[in-house]
Amino acid sequence: MTQPYLQAQPSREEVNGLAGATVLEFGTNWCGWCQGAQAHIADALGAQPALRHIKIEDGPGRPLGRSFGIKLWPTLVYLRDGVEVARVVRPGGSAPIREALGQL
């Protein structure tokens, strides 16, 4: 069982202040695309146990998702010291997720 998307979300200022590597995953618990991608995400990120991975529930009026310009779910935003370095939208396999990890 995968972790649910969190309704509580950090502010953009908190995200910008995160040190090190972080993957923000935007989606919803009811989204079929999000559910279908979970095995790929777990496969790719499972080899990185020290990587900070934050699942954030997104939707209209959700300020963090809007600040990143999220349009489709799931979207993974890769951050290094709070700065976006890569993005993967609706991954169809673990390869694009792993490839983006190389940019961290």
Instruction: For residue 68, give the CATH number of its domain.
Output: 3.40.30.10
Please report whether residue 5 resides in a domain.
Answer: no
Q: For 3-43, how does the pLDDT look when each residue is reduced to its tens digit (9 = 90+)?
A: 899 999 999 999 999 999 999 999 999 999 999 999 999 99
pLDDT surpassing 60 at residue 59: yes
**Residue 49 belongs to some domain of the structure:** yes
Is 58 in a helix, a strand, or coil?
coil
Q: Is residue 22 part of a domain?
A: yes
Residue 7: inside a domain? no
Give dist(CA 8, CA 85) in Å, integer.
24
pLDDT band at 1 (very low <50, low <70, confident <90, very high): very low
Cβ–Cβ < 8 Å for 86, 103: yes
Using a cut of 0.75, tell me whether the model's pTM lies above it: yes
